Amino acid sequence: MKREKQLAKNTLIVALGKICTQFASFLMLPLYTSYLSTEEYGSVDLLNTYTSLLIPILFFQMEQAIFRHLIDVRKDNESQKRYISNAVATVGVQSLIFSVIYILVNFLIDSPYKHFLAANVVMMGISHLLLQICRGLGDNLKYSIASVVSGLTSILLNVLFIAGWHWGAYGMLAASLIGNAASILFIFFAKKIYRYFSPKYLSRATVKELWKYSIPLIPNQLSWWIINASDRTVIYVALGEAFNGIYSAANKFSSIITTVFNIFNLTWAESAALHIKDGDADDFFTKITANTVKLFSSLCLGVIACMPFVFPILIRGEKFADAYYQIPILLLSTVFNIFVSLMGSVYVALKKSKEIAKTSTYAAIINLAVNIALVKFIGLYAASISTVVAFFAMSIYRYIDVQKYVRIRLSKKLILGLLVAATGILTSYYLNILWLNIITLTLTAIFAIALNFKFLSSICDIALRKFLKK
């Protein structure tokens, strides 16, 4: 029970920082869809997509390596300094090399936003590294505060730049850049990163040790990029920039669930690494997996049931109306994505980065193949359907594969219940009849509460006991 309480505590700390800013950003959809054209919104989304492609290639996934290695040396200050010094120095050199190359070749890039692309790559790479240092050292509170600083800065500047000064896409990109810079400054001084850095600790052996773990993760990250982002590229080439804006708007609803899960997954990856070799690891992993699948499946189904009522409020104008039909498919892909990540935590805990890369590469190939094969026949649906197929295939593969290391069991009754519920909710969603939507929303709420009753009761019980102690 101690492990579960620690997991819940860490998740709550991280959630307080992440959820507030992510939900605030999500609620800015009316601002974006009111002030930006589908072309502008699509351009920013595509640029962010390529930023996420460049970061793992340029920085060799160093942030993942520093996080995993720091977990093992939390009581060894010298080892902490050794790892952090080498990680910071390596990312610094990589940032400098990238900047020089960009200066030399930027005249070949035909985009009005190219300078933002280069600057955001560097800022996000450094920000990710410092955030993972916080996590690796077990300081989830400062990690959370840094996320708040970055998120709120970005949100406030978005309002100023877009609604106030009418900078359009430039405003979104500038706000993101300054938000990442604010996060870097906060962590650097609040966590006193300079105290962990010393040239005397720099060594090729340590860099090689970190790269041995991180470099195999590059194909994994690129595969995730293909799964999550090749959709935008295929849409852009086959259908045009405006369709990319519509798809991006539809993705906002599934991304909010993914963001909430990622908050949990940040602390779950740490807990999995600490307890993978416990005598009752099978039961521990099974319990956490089952509860997580129940909770996030319920959230996804709940969002689908709510969408007929909230879509007209959050998405303004007919230009984004087609996003409505993509949302449920993308939310279903999110359920499979969450399960994939849960299984991936086993690989992370065992430092099997090659297995992570292998399984995600298979899914990336499936996603791209299905997308290209279908886009000329079913248009925008090809992107969302290919994502579902890829994540579904990956979830089956990983579930079978991780049984070699941990015996995780899922109830057939649970899977059947979710399938029946999803079928009913999707039918109501696409029929879009008011009275049927009301009934569906009510039944979905009852189903979600019943499915998660034991888990919710335990959370309430813990909270009540804490309150009574005070």
pLDDT for 234 = 86
Other Cβ atoms less than 10 A from the Cβ of 95: the count is: 18
456 part of a folded domain: yes
Q: Reply yes or no on whether the pLDDT at 431 is more than 70.
A: yes
139 part of a folded domain: no
pLDDT for 51 = 86
C-alpha closest to that of 180 among 156, 151, 158: 151
Q: Are 341 and 261 in contact (CB under 8 A)?
A: yes
Q: Which amino acid, one-letter code, is at 43?
A: S
pLDDT digits (tens, 9 = 90+) for 47-94: 887 888 889 889 988 998 998 899 889 889 999 999 999 999 999 999
83 part of a folded domain: no
pLDDT digits (tens, 9 = 90+) for 393-422: 999 999 999 999 999 999 999 999 999 999
Q: Which range is most confident: 135-139, 269-273, 312-316?
A: 135-139
Q: Are 186 and 179 in contact (CB under 8 A)?
A: no
Give the pTM: 0.71
189 part of a folded domain: no
pLDDT digits (tens, 9 = 90+) for 298-309: 999 999 999 999
Q: How far apart are CA 180 and CA 86, in angstroms?
A: 22
125 part of a folded domain: no
Dihedral of the alpha carbons of 380, 225, 18, 69, in degrees to the nearest 10: 160
Q: Reply yes or no on whether the pLDDT at 19 is more than 70.
A: no
SS3 track for the chain: CHHHHHHHHHHHHHHHHHHHHHHHHHCCHHHHHHHCCHHHHHHHHHHHHHHHHHHHHHHCCHHHHHHHHHHCCCCCHHHHHHHHHHHHHHHHHHHHHHHHHHHHHHHHCCCCCHHHHHHHHHHHHHHHHHHHHHHHCCCHHHHHHHHHHHHHHHHHHHHHHHHHCCCCHHHHHHHHHHHHHHHHHHHHHHCCHHHHCCHHHCCHHHHHHHHHHHCCHHHHHHHHHHHHHHHHHHHHHHCCHHHHHHHHHHHHHHHHHHHHHHHHHHHHHHHHHHHCCCCCHHHHHHHHHHHHHHHHHHHHHHHHHHHHHHHHHHCCCHHHCCHHHHHHHHHHHHHHHHHHHHHHHHHHHCCCHHHHHHHHHHHHHHHHHHHHHHHHHHCCHHHHHHHHHHHHHHHHHHHHHHCCCCCCCCCHHHHHHHHHHHHHHHHHHHHCCHHHHHHHHHHHHHHHHHHCHHHHHHHHHHHHHHHHHC
Give the confidence band of 318 by pLDDT, cuts at 50, 70, 90.
confident
Residue with tokens 């997954």: 265
Q: Are 63 and 131 in contact (CB under 8 A)?
A: yes
Angle at which helix 381-402 crosses helix 217-238, to 10 degrees, equals 160
Domain count, the chain: 1
Percent of the chain with pLDDT over 90: 49
346 part of a folded domain: yes
Residue 132: phi and psi, rounded to 5, are -75, -25
pLDDT for 391 = 92
pLDDT for 180 = 92
284 part of a folded domain: yes
Identify which has the larger pLDDT, 219 or 35: 35
pLDDT for 268 = 82
170 part of a folded domain: no
Q: Reply yes or no on whether the pLDDT at 225 is more than 60.
A: yes
Average model confidence (pLDDT) across the chain: 86
Domain span at residue 401? 241-470
pLDDT for 147 = 85
Give the confidence band of 375 by pLDDT, cuts at 50, 70, 90.
very high
